[in-house]
Structure 1
Amino acid sequence: MLKRISNLVVFIALLLIAFLLVVRIPKVTAQGLQEFVPNDPKYSSTWAHQLDLPLAWAEMQRIEQTTGPVGPDAVVLVFDGWINASHPDLSGHVLTQYNVDYTGEPTYEQQNHDHGSQVASVIIAGTNNGIGPTSVAGLSSHVKIVSVKISATNGTVGSPYPGFQYALDLKNQGVNVVAINCSFGGGGDDTATTRQWLQRLKAQGIYVFAAAGQQAGGGNLDTNTQLYPAQYGADFDSNVVAVAALDTDGVSISANSNFGPNTVAVAAPGVNVPVVSTLDPINGSANASGTSESAPEAAAAYALIRVYKEPDPFKAALRLKMGAVMLPNLFGKVGYGRVDVYNSLTMASPPSTLALLTEPNSNRALAFESPTMSAGSFPLHNDLTLGTDTNTRVMLFAMNLDLQPGETASAVTAQTQGGIQLPVESVLPVPNLPWLKQVIVKLPNGLASPGDISISITAHNITSNQGIISIR
């Protein structure tokens, strides 16, 4: 059996560095683009800069003044408690004609619950309006929210299924629902019914942003903790984006936030986040902490991407993830890094078809070599030493290679530019980077003469770019 990487931490670090150099195309220069600083009294420059919002707001204004938005207005459904749509910082940002309440609570009880309004304000509180806090998307007139009340005043969260159906109904009515925010979670909800609902939402381009949750010391959603709906973030090609909370330093996960690089996609600020307060109708603002604040930040960022850069749901989600900044303290905690709204709005579009990773500004393949079946690791190397050995394997890395359920490596072929077919022995997700696949190919003795060979792979009748490997 082929042995795997002996030092997983080193492997992931090397691969991420290579990926950042190869695939993540730098954002456009900010030269000449001045940061936008709003006049809200609760504006937190620390919070905003962690998300790269001042430049993102400036970029949004530039787009508004030049080409205009590329997508239709976006709507985020907030599955939560009561939202005070008449609050001065929320008024005009909530599509109240579509609000729905599945709890049946009297209004006077609803008004004693702050959570829904706080979550809503993270997404859409009026920005640059001279009152209260800022929000991620509140500067834009093209993002709105709808309140879907499933949480009672006592904190009990009802079934999300009626809300899921309502999201689909709104979509059918022409309301451009792009995301659902779920700042709640619980255990034991891994059901086929929920997965079917998520697939129906995905088919309509609706992504679900889920709080990763918190507990003393934080739990690992990959191994020893379960929290739904965030847990569905680990599913193959999932439309659930689980979000962890950053500490005040902006570079590490908060002490109590759950994490897990295969389940939790990104992190966003989650300590002392400025929010509105319906319990203080005069000043109307406060600070809140938890992944309940982190998830709506990511949801709002996604909505902005859909409006200003990429209306396609999957590509917008990929842009959100690839635009995230991976920091040393986030390795092994989240899959992609800290949400960076400016990066996501300005980075060049990633490949949308099957692609082999290559070195920067080169067509040389990024590859690991296994000289024999008994080798202890795959050293990062483009010069393969074949000699007379018949067991040389090479690990290539591919984007947009998604095997369908039940498919095996036999669905993928590899070939040289000269037409020599190469056996593909396995196709597996890269640990911690499930969107990237490792493709292990066996090289026959016939390629043992020194020189360069070009290899491509084919899946579902789509052939990748050519990647060069040197044989010596």
Structure 2
Amino acid sequence: MGAKRVWSTTGVVALTGALLLTSAPTASADYVRDQQWVLDAYKMDATWALTQGEGVTVAVVDSGVDGSHPDLTGQVLQGKDFTGGGDAQEDVAGHGTGMASLIAGHGHGAGNNAGMVGLAPKAKILPLRVLQKEDDDFEDDTWAEAVRYAVDNGAKVINLSLSGGTGSRTATSGREAIAYAQAHDVVVVAAAGNDGGFTVNEPAALRGVVSVGAVDDKGNLWDKSNVGDGLTLVAPGVEIVSANTNRSDGYSLDSGTSDATAYVSAAAALVRAKYPDLTAGQVINRLIKSASFLHHKGLKAPDREYGYGVIRPNKALTMDIPKGSKEGPLGQLPSSTESKAGSATDGNEDGSTQAKEQDSSSRLPIALIIGGIAAVLVIGGIIFAVMRSRGNRSNGGPGSGGGTPPHGTGYQQYPNTAPNQGYPAPPGQSPQHQNPYAQQPPHQGQ
């Protein structure tokens, strides 16, 4: 069984500081649309002229997705509940519905000019319910089963706006499910975590997974976004409006890497729709190579706080970027068969290998073996005599500083360093330079 993990405001989802849109007595539809700063920041109208995610299914592994929300009608497939029976379109917590709206919300009203619009409004959502209430525990086995179901039911992108918490490790079932998705050409996107820590949480930290941090409307890192080695991209995740049928007005305002993850999944859906011949790894390659550090001058990709940069959906669709390798710049987890094959060579050889080695050693001439043993004994005797002689000549003799040093003195412990040592200066501490990141980040594959 996988290790249980708590669905909390700091570990899994972005509900910390969740606010109703209560600056007006009743949040009007126009007001909701006006609050979606991401649409203006990305000038999405120009991008939607190229594609809106048609023909791509995004699996949302979460608390379920309420397909009856007016901004999601017709976009949500039947899906499956993995919580012990129920309906994948029942969303008690409201989180999965919010993520789906950021990916494929289409608005409502005349000309769909009101309500929530996601970055890929014509993509389909496959709801996979692995959580119910906000404080539910869940196991890796649960979401791992959902990931496999997503792969087997046509999803081309899997959104995991969840995280195991600081220091947690993904169980074998989870790792194998991610590997299964990668082996079947599916883009897997996961949240880096909302702990404000210096480690990217799993499963986002697993090889080949697009791990996502959060930035605000100025492109500066959100203070609770996890950072560290393995961070892939950052995306808008501060004061994000999303659909929520559990609220009286149908919407909520949240901050977190969950929202940022949904936006990256939507960008992946756009790329998959426009370039259906690209592999999952090549889609990731386009997302990475089109990203920008914006005004954060002097960062080197991949950066511990910004990864390869802020996603730019339009550039991901329009830039002249070579396809690159099929596996993409992040590589892939080994499949279960590869893992077993690897373990066979790591001290657990199979019978045929052991037999060959035993057969080879048994053919060595007996005289050579005996001679080798004798030589070892002679050399050992000489070394013993020399060491004994040196020990007797040392100042004070044995027991007064000569001989073997005490435990630990032969190794220097790693010094304690300040949390931010080696990191770029936090946003706001350096001059702002409006120079988009134009240089291709290194180590991205060819």
Say whether residues 1:242 and 2:214 are aligned partners: no
Within 5 Å, which residues of 2 pair with 1:385-404? none
Say whether residues 1:150 and 2:130 are aligned partners: yes
Say whether residues 1:334 and 2:300 are aligned partners: no
Provide the identity percentage.
26
Structure 1: unaligned runs, 5 residues or longer: 1-37, 62-68, 355-398, 407-430, 438-463, 465-472
The one-letter amino acid paired with 1:243 is V
Counterpart in the other structure of 2:317: 345
Q: Secondary structure at the match of 1:210?
A: strand
List per-residue Cα deviations over 1:139-188 (Å, max 9, x = no partner): x2xx101111111214325234454445445544xx43111111111242
Say whether residues 1:314 and 2:281 are aligned partners: yes
- Kindly indicate whether the alpha-carbon contact (under 8 Å) linking 2:56 and 2:272 is maintained by their aligned counterparts in 1: yes
List per-residue Cα deviations over 1:22-55 (Å, max 9, x = no partner): xxxxxxxxxxxxxxxx989514463124344232
Counterpart in the other structure of 2:202: 228
List per-residue Cα deviations over 1:64-103 (Å, max 9, x = no partner): xxxxx8xx8211111111321111111100012xx11111
Say whether residues 1:137 and 2:120 are aligned partners: yes
C-alpha separation between the residues in 1 aligned to 2:331 and 2:155? 28
- Kindly indicate whether the alpha-carbon contact (under 8 Å) linking 1:40 and 1:134 is maintained by their aligned counterparts in 2: no
The two structures, once aligned, show a CA RMSD in angstroms of 3.5
C-alpha separation between the residues in 1 aligned to 2:254 and 2:36? 16
Say whether residues 1:292 and 2:226 are aligned partners: no
Say whether residues 1:271 and 2:238 are aligned partners: yes
C-alpha separation between the residues in 2 aligned to 1:208 and 1:302? 10
Q: Secondary structure at the match of 2:263?
A: helix
The one-letter amino acid paired with 2:133 is T
- Kindly indicate whether the alpha-carbon contact (under 8 Å) linking 2:140 and 2:170 is maintained by their aligned counterparts in 1: no
Q: Secondary structure at the match of 1:177?
A: coil
List per-residue Cα deviations over 1:436-455 (Å, max 9, x = no partner): 48xxxxxxxxxxxxxxxxxx
- Kindly indicate whether the alpha-carbon contact (under 8 Å) linking 2:36 and 2:241 is maintained by their aligned counterparts in 1: no
Q: Secondary structure at the match of 1:334?
A: coil
Aligned CA distance change for structure 1 residues 400 and 90 (closer, same or farther; 3 Å): closer
Q: CA deviation at 1:193?
A: 4.1
Say whether residues 1:126 and 2:94 are aligned partners: no
C-alpha separation between the residues in 1 aligned to 2:113 and 2:331? 48
2:270 to 279, 289, 304: 304
Aligned CA distance change for structure 1 residues 87 and 220 (closer, same or farther; 3 Å): same
C-alpha separation between the residues in 1 aligned to 2:86 and 2:141? 22
The one-letter amino acid paired with 1:435 is H
In the superposition, the TM-score normalised over structure 2's length comes to 0.60
- Kindly indicate whether the alpha-carbon contact (under 8 Å) linking 2:215 and 2:237 is maintained by their aligned counterparts in 1: yes
- Kindly indicate whether the alpha-carbon contact (under 8 Å) linking 2:221 and 2:306 is maintained by their aligned counterparts in 1: no
C-alpha separation between the residues in 1 aligned to 2:234 and 2:150? 29
- Kindly indicate whether the alpha-carbon contact (under 8 Å) linking 1:77 and 1:148 is maintained by their aligned counterparts in 2: yes
C-alpha separation between the residues in 2 aligned to 1:78 and 1:322? 25
Aligned CA distance change for structure 1 residues 179 and 348 (closer, same or farther; 3 Å): same
Within 5 Å, which residues of 2 pair with 1:7-406? 42-44=33-35, 46-60=37-51, 73-96=55-78, 99-104=79-84, 111-127=91-107, 129-138=112-121, 140=122, 143-169=123-149, 171-172=151-152, 175-187=153-165, 188-215=168-195, 218-221=196-199, 227-232=201-206, 235=207, 238=208, 240-249=209-218, 251-260=219-228, 262-280=229-247, 283-312=249-278, 313-329=280-296, 331=299, 332=303, 333-350=305-322, 352=324
Q: CA deviation at 1:104?
A: 3.0
Identify the structure with the greater helix proportion. Answer: 2
- Kindly indicate whether the alpha-carbon contact (under 8 Å) linking 1:263 and 1:334 is maintained by their aligned counterparts in 2: no
Aligned CA distance change for structure 1 residues 177 and 160 (closer, same or farther; 3 Å): farther
Q: CA deviation at 1:197?
A: 2.3
Q: CA deviation at 1:131?
A: 2.7
Structure showing greater radius of gyration is: 2
- Kindly indicate whether the alpha-carbon contact (under 8 Å) linking 1:253 and 1:329 is maintained by their aligned counterparts in 2: no
**Which piece of structure 1 moves more, 73-82 or 127-136?**
127-136
Aligned CA distance change for structure 1 residues 169 and 134 (closer, same or farther; 3 Å): closer
The one-letter amino acid paired with 1:296 is A
The one-letter amino acid paired with 1:266 is L
C-alpha separation between the residues in 2 aligned to 1:130 and 1:81? 27
C-alpha separation between the residues in 2 aligned to 1:134 and 1:46? 11
Q: CA deviation at 1:334?
A: 2.3
List per-residue Cα deviations over 1:392-443 (Å, max 9, x = no partner): xxxxxxx8999x999xxxxxxxxxxxxxxxxxxxxxxxx9967348xxxxxx
The one-letter amino acid paired with 2:254 is A
- Kindly indicate whether the alpha-carbon contact (under 8 Å) linking 1:230 and 1:241 is maintained by their aligned counterparts in 2: yes
In the superposition, the TM-score normalised over structure 1's length comes to 0.57
